[in-house]
């Protein structure tokens, strides 16, 4: 079973475009028809921002990362596990995909610990700050038994990026990190990050991106400041995945048509594919 498991992470910005998601669902259905077992992990940052604005709750972020205080946690629980999750499940059902909407809280799917305070260089000010991210969790364990149970029944888990600690406290989780932890624990063959950038750019300001990279090359680009900002934690998750035995990790931007999604997911002709140290291509 494990050689056929694909973990696909969907960024919140993609989910704002119904027609793009519909096209993606058609390709996911195609993969299922080819006996692939699919797990979807999703975010919902833009949707949470919108609700916070409507409710008059200040949005607190540093370097694009949400600081989840009590009020923000209330919103992300409502948005991630509620509106975003159920809308995505409904779109999957429309295409005869047996989707089951859950979050990392259910059956302790993602047991977490509170992220400790971290020294962070604020990109807006250049100052180094000690940041408390609030109710943000780092994954400790994944309940792979529940996921395998659903996959054996030909269900598609659609997982909102929340988790729970041993005391029953709910936490916000980075969706990339949750997808990576799930892929590693369940022994997935494919891990795909669908995000708001087309891939790893060859240089800042360019529209051209690398189609193939090794992890070593990507890490050199971080040192050389050619990979910056939000792409850095993605590469960190890629490293975790590759070291766990996943052959490659695919970072691809949001696409619009069925043929583009098909080429991207099946042929890997869009986005950047990152390989481990044994890659010889």
Question: Which of these is catalytic: 11, 104, 176, 271?
Answer: 176
Whether 9 is catalytic is yes
Report CA 250 to chain centroid distance, whole Å: 11
Q: Can you tell me the distance from the alpha carbon of 276 to that of 63, in angstroms, rounded to the nearest whole number?
A: 28
Q: Do the beta carbons of residue 28 and residue 268 sit within 8 Å?
A: no
DSSP 136: B
Active site residue 12: yes
196 catalytic, yes or no? no
Q: Which candidate in 134, 234, 271, 276 is catalytic?
A: 234
Q: Looking at 11, 43, 44, 45, which residue is catalytic?
A: 45
Helices 175-186, 144-152: axis angle to 10 degrees equals 70
> Is 281 a catalytic site residue?
no
User: What region does 103 belong to: left with phi over 0, alpha with psi -120 to 50, or beta?
Assistant: beta
Rounded Cα–Cα distance for residues 135 and 151 (Å): 30
Beta-carbon contacts of 216 under 8 Å, excluding residues fewer than 6 positions away, are 277
The catalytic position among 11, 12, 104, 276 is: 12
Nearest-angstrom CA–CA distance, 255 and 271: 10
- Alpha carbons 75 and 57: distance in angstroms, whole number: 9
In the residue annotation, 108 being an active-site residue is answered as no
* Rounded (10°) angle between helices 231-243 and 215-223: 150
Catalytic residue positions, numbered: 9, 12, 45, 176, 234
């Amino acid at each position: 079973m494990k050689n056929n498991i694909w973990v696909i992470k969907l960024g919140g910005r993609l989910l704002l475009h119904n027609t793009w998601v519909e096209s993606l669902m058609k390709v996911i259905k195609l993969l299922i028809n080819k006996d692939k077992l699919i797990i979807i992990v999703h975010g919902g940052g833009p949707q949470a921002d919108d609700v916070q604005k409507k409710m008059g709750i200040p949005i607190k972020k540093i370097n694009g990362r949400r600081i989840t205080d009590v009020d923000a946690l209330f919103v992300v629980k409502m948005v991630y596990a509620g509106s975003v999750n159920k809308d995505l499940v409904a779109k999957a059902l429309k295409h005869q995909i047996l989707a089951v909407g859950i979050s990392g809280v259910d059956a302790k799917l993602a047991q977490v610990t509170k992220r400790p305070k971290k020294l962070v260089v604020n990109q807006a000010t250049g100052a180094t700050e000690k940041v408390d991210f609030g109710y943000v969790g780092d994954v400790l364990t994944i309940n792979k038994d529940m996921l395998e149970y659903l996959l054996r029944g030909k269900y598609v888990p659609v997982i909102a990026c929340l988790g729970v600690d041993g005391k029953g406290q709910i936490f916000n989780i980075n969706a990339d990190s949750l997808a990576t932890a799930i892929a590693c624990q369940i022994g997935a063959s494919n891990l795909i990050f669908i995000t708001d950038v087309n891939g790893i750019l060859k240089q800042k300001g360019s529209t051209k991106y690398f189609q193939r990279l090794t992890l070593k090359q990507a890490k050199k680009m971080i040192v050389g400041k050619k990979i910056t900002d939000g792409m850095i934690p993605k590469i960190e998750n890629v490293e975790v995945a590759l070291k766990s035995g996943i052959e490659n990790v695919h970072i691809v931007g949001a696409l619009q048509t069925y043929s583009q999604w098909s080429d991207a997911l099946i042929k890997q002709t869009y986005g950047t594919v990152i390989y481990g140290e044994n890659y010889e291509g």
